[in-house]
Structure 1
Amino acid sequence: MKIAIIVPMEIEAEYYRNNFHSGKKEMFGSTVFEHFSVNENDVYIGLSGIGKVQAAMNLASLLACQKIDQVFLTGSAGSMDPSVHKEDVILVNSFAYHDAHNTNAGDYVEGQVPGQPARFMLDSAQRADFAKYLVDNGVEFHEGLVVTGDSFISSQKQKEKIKHDFPDALGVEMEGAAFAQVARQFDVPFVALRAISDNGDESAEEDFDVFVKRVGAKAATLISDYIEKMK
């Protein structure tokens, strides 16, 4: 099986290198992917960069060249719900764009890009298997909607606007919906695990710097362990 693990930031990618060894590097498009053999699976670990365009471009470059069987996204997010706290993890079941406003352009809902679904649902058998792994190993996690946009959310005003449009959103970040859109176009199962680094308010910038390393390591440890145990 060929598995891709995508992370937005170098600080998040380094934790996978601590778990997987003896890899080689391959260039796909403008992105270097490190290629490892883990439990007889081919694992490609790539750094997408930050934001929707970087995310879509770099995942598409890989999927256009390799027949990938499953894509994992990991990394950090800001909390959008009082029940979701720093260092919690969200197993995403859907993504939407919080900065797509097309309701005046036709029969679209908030967050929907014309020609695309209102929400990108993550409901594959692979995701269900990963959820079972989390449950079986006693890992507490949230399940729900995470919203994506090209801005780092760091004020209560920004947060309240998003929450008004997406009252069920649990988290906010800058790449996930773009990854989900590309994975859908290529018909590749997509599993996303986001760990909370901040509350998406005025404390976000300070909290992000403190917690991003910690939550990046947490998410990487879970996915690395899962892949090492895959049959």
Structure 2
Amino acid sequence: MKIAIVVPMAEEAEFYHQYFSSGKKEMFGSTEFEHFSVQGNDLYLGLTGIGKVQAAMNLTSLLAKEKIDLVIMTGSAGSLNAKVRKEDLVLPTEFAYHDAHNTSAGNYVEGQIPQEPARFVLDSPARDQFKAFLDQKGIQYHQGLVVTGDSFISSQAQKDEIIKNFPDALCCEMEGAAFAQVAYHFNVPLIALRAISDNGDENADDDFAAFVKKVGAKAADMIVNFLQESEF
């Protein structure tokens, strides 16, 4: 089985190298993917870069050349819900774009790009298997909608605007919906895991810098243990 792990930031990717021995490196598009063997599976680890275009471009470059069976994305996010706190884990059930406003262009809803699904739902046996793994380990997490946009959210006013359009959103980040959209079009299942680094408010800059490495390590640890203990 061929599995891709995609992360936006170097701070989030570095922890995987503590678990995997050095492997072959290969360029796909503008991203260098490292190739490892884990539990008899081919694993591609790629640092895609920040934002929707980088995420979509570099995952597409990989999926267009390799027959990937499963994509796993990890990284950090900012909370939009008072019950979702710093260092919490979020297992997304679906993604939408919080910066897509196309309701006047036709029969579309907030977060929907014309001619695309309103939300990209993550529903696959692989995701069910990962959820069962977290439950078996007694790991606490939140499930629900995660929203994506190209801005780092760092004020209550920005949060309020997003929450007004997406009252059910748990957190926001900058790549997830783009990864989900690409995976949807390639018909490849996606598992997503986000760890909360900040509250998306005026303290977000300081909180993000302090917590991104910590929560990145937490997410990486969950993914690595899942891959090492699971049979696909």
TM range (shorter): over 0.9
Q: 2:59 matched to 1:59?
A: yes
Aligned residue in 2 for 1:191: 191
Is residue 87 of structure 2 the alignment partner of residue 87 of structure 1?
A: yes
Instruction: Say if 2:143 is the partner of 1:106.
Output: no
Letter in 2 for 1:96: A
CA-CA distance at 1:30 after TM superposition: 1.2
**Partner secondary structure for residue 227 of structure 1:** helix
Distance 2:128 2:200 in 1: 28
The answer as to 2:173 corresponding to 1:173 is yes
Q: Which residues of 2 match residues 7-86 of structure 1 at below 5 A?
A: 7-86=7-86
Query: How many pairs align?
Result: 231
The runs of 4+ residues in structure 1 deviating greater than 6 Å are none
Query: How many Å separate the matches in 1 of 2:105 and 2:29?
Result: 34
Identical amino acids, percent of aligned pairs: 66
Supply the AA of the counterpart residue of 2:214. R
Q: 1:89: how far off? A: 0.3
- 1:229, distance to aligned residue in structure 2 (A): 1.1
Aligned to 2:219: 219
Residue 94 of structure 1: how far off its partner (Å): 0.3
**Matching of residue 162 in structure 1 with residue 162 in structure 2:** yes
Q: CA deviation at 1:69?
A: 0.4
Return the alpha-carbon distance in structure 1 between the equivalents of residues 30 and 49 of structure 2. 11
**Aligned letter for 1:97?**
Y
Cα-to-partner distance string for 1:152-171 (whole Å, 9 max, x where unaligned): 00000000000000000001
1:59 Cα shift? 0.2
How far apart are residue 23 of structure 1 and its match?
Answer: 1.1
C-alpha RMSD of the superposition: 0.5
The 3-state SS of whatever aligns with 2:74 is strand
Moved more, 93-102 or 16-25: 16-25
The equivalences for 1:106-185 within 5 A come to 106-185=106-185
Report SS of the residue matched to 1:188.
coil
Q: Give unmatched runs, 5+ long, in structure 2.
A: none
Provide the rounded CA distance (Å) in 2 between the counterparts of 1:155 and 1:28: 36
Question: What letter is aligned with 2:133?
Answer: Y
Query: In structure 1, what is the equivalent of residue 3 of structure 2?
Result: 3
Distance (Å, rounded) in 2 between the aligned partners of 1:22 and 1:82: 41
Counterpart Cα distance in 1 of 2:97 and 2:166: 10
Counterpart amino acid of residue 213 in structure 1: K
Partners in 2 of 1:115 and 1:55 — Cα distance? 20
SS in 2 for 1:65: coil
SS of the equivalent of 1:36 reads strand
**Secondary structure, aligned partner of 1:114:** coil
Find the aligned partners of 2:222 and 2:19 in 1 and give their Cα distance.
Answer: 11
TM-score normalized by the length of structure 1:
0.99
SS of 2:117 mapped into structure 1? coil
Question: Counterparts of 1:19 and 1:204 in 2: how far apart (Å)?
Answer: 30
One-letter code aligned to 1:144: G
Whole-angstrom CA distance in 1 between matches of 2:84 and 2:217: 18
Residue 22 of structure 1: CA displacement?
Answer: 2.8
What secondary structure is seen at the aligned counterpart in 2 of 1:147? strand
Q: Distance in 1 between matches of 2:22 and 2:198?
A: 34
Letter of the 2:205 partner, please give it.
Answer: E
